[in-house]
């Protein structure tokens, strides 16, 4: 059987599935219950400055009948007394010595304040610390949360305060509300962090009630920006995790967060460089029981592929990431419709006709319209295959034999060597030579 155990920056756990620092990891009761179900670790809900939370803290984004594909929250850090949290953290670690217990921290930007809370946290016997530099709501105006993560200099300074006294691993949790996630990650590395956690929630307003004009969630008639999470943020999280994983100046283990709901989601993050994966919204929606599906699914996949440990596959997809200028311009595909599966909904025709490149025809046959691709005009954009509601009905078929290869960067260099400039005429000549459809 595959070995799911990991070591994320010095923090070990029997599997890569951790609870993210959030409502599901708020208490000893919840964390111990999660461990009983099989979770490998937990990041305790952030503790620090005294706060008071509000009512109607969450707003859900539903789409096409699916509930909570996105979740907005204006909940602050733990509103339980800090001594209560420390006591429960110590008790949880005593009861579950083989599980990872990481404590998320957020306090004001004073060196002595950070030193004090770090030392008290270490006394609980926990396995690691996660620094919350990402919360986009309620704390930034106090110089905490994303206010730190958005300024690499602050990130480096505060992480340095922590690492100069910490005797246990320190993970830095980054905010996605930046122009380039790599810079704060480099700052964390420069301050001797043990690893990076990302992403935290995305700054958002999730919706407006069109009858009352009030925002969602509604707190006594008022609303504002909150943190956006859930399946809808997964593509953004995958992108940012890969950016950090590819950056040679960072070179730290990654604990990935953002829209993870299934074992396949988790595997995608691992293939892009993650060591551990953290879940929140999926647990809030379906409960701790999802760990059974996560472990079983990932284990079965690894066994089917002959993969013995996660170390064998971590980052395997990173070499597949490249710049547009290095894509093969001569790679050709066309859409083909399996008429035996077609239900004649005509969505492919509408999408192609109005939203793409007008290369699907409707041909009347026995009282219905048959959709036919004009392959000579098809540019292989794949939109029709994406909107088709029938699995496998429309396939993107490769036309080139793989022998010809020319990237945009190579083409520009060829023009320069031949003394040519990049003009529409020169580009059209190249396209005509290789039978490329121009739209």
Phi, psi of 269 (to 5 degrees): -65, -40
User: Residue 384 corresponds to which tokens in the numbers above?
Assistant: 């029709």
Contact status, residue 261 vs residue 240, Cβ threshold 8 Å: no
For residue 198, the cross-strand partners are 256
Among the listed residues 8, 37, 126, 135, the single catalytic one is: 135
Spell out the residues 6+ positions from residue 66 whose beta carbon is closer than 8 angstroms to its own. none
Compute CA 354 distance to the chain's CA centroid, rounded to the nearest angstrom. Answer: 32
CA distances from 210 to 73, 172, 207, 214, 328 (A): 20, 39, 9, 8, 47
**How many whole angstroms separate alpha carbon 428 and alpha carbon 439?**
11
DSSP state of 222: B
Q: Report phi then psi at 296, rounded to 5.
A: -65, -45
Spell out a b/e string for 403-427, using b for 16 or more CB atoms within 10 Å of the CB, else e.
eeeebeeebeeebeeeeeeeeeeee
* Distance from C-alpha of 104 to C-alpha of 255, rounded to nearest angstrom: 13
**CB neighbours of residue 355 within 10 Å:** 12
Q: Is 135 a catalytic residue?
A: yes
Alpha helices in 221-375 (DSSP H): 234-246, 263-271, 281-286, 290-305, 347-355
**CB contact burial 312-343 (16+ within 10 A = b; e otherwise):** ebbbebeeeeeeeeeeebbebbbbbbeeeebe
Non-local CB neighbours of 108 within 8 Å, separated by 6+ positions = 49, 142, 143, 144
The set of catalytic residues is 135
């Amino acid at each position: 059987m595959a070995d799911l155990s990991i070591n994320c920056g010095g923090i070990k756990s029997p599997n890569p599935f951790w609870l993210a620092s959030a409502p599901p990891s708020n208490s000893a009761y919840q964390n111990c219950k999660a461990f009983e179900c099989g979770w490998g670790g937990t990041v305790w809900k952030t503790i620090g400055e005294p706060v008071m939370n509000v009512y109607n803290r969450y707003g859900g984004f539903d789409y096409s009948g699916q509930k909570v594909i996105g979740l907005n929250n204006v909940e602050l850090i733990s509103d339980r007394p800090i001594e209560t949290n420390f006591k429960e953290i110590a008790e949880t670690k005593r009861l579950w010595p083989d599980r990872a217990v990481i404590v998320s921290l957020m306090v004001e930007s004073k060196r002595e304040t950070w030193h004090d809370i770090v030392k008290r946290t270490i006394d609980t016997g926990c396995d690691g610390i996660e620094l919350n530099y990402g919360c986009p709501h309620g704390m930034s105006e106090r110089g905490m949360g994303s206010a730190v993560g958005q300024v690499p200099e602050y990130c480096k300074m505060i992480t340095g305060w922590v690492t100069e006294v910490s005797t246990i691993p320190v993970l830095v949790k980054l905010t996605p509300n930046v122009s380039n996630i790599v810079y704060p990650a480099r700052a964390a590395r420069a301050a001797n962090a043990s690893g990076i956690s990302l992403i935290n929630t995305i700054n958002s307003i999730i919706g407006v009630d069109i009858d009352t004009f009030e925002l969602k969630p509604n707190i006594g008639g008022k609303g504002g920006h909150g943190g956006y999470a859930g399946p809808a943020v997964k593509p953004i999280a995958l992108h940012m995790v890969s950016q950090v994983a590819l950056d040679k100046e960072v070179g730290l283990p990654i604990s990935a967060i953002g829209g993870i709901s299934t074992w396949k989601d988790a595997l995608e993050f691992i293939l892009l460089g993650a060591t551990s994966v953290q879940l929140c919204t999926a647990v809030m929606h379906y409960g701790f029981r999802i760990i059974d599906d996560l472990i079983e699914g990932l284990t079965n996949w690894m066994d089917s592929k002959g993969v013995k440990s996660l170390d064998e596959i971590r980052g395997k997809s990173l070499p597949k990431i490249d710049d547009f200028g290095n894509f093969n311009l001569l790679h050709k595909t066309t859409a083909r419709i399996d008429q035996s599966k077609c239900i004649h909904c005509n969505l492919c025709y509408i999408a192609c006709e109005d939203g793409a490149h007008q290369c699907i025809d409707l041909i009347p046959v026995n009282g219905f319209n048959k959709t036919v691709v004009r392959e000579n005009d098809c540019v292989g954009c794949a939109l029709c295959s994406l909107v088709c509601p029938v699995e496998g009905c429309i396939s993107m078929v490769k036309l080139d034999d793989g022998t010809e290869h020319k990237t945009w960067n190579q083409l520009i260099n060829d023009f320069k060597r031949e003394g040519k400039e990049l003009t529409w005429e020169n580009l059209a000549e190249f396209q005509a030579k290789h039978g490329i459809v121009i739209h």
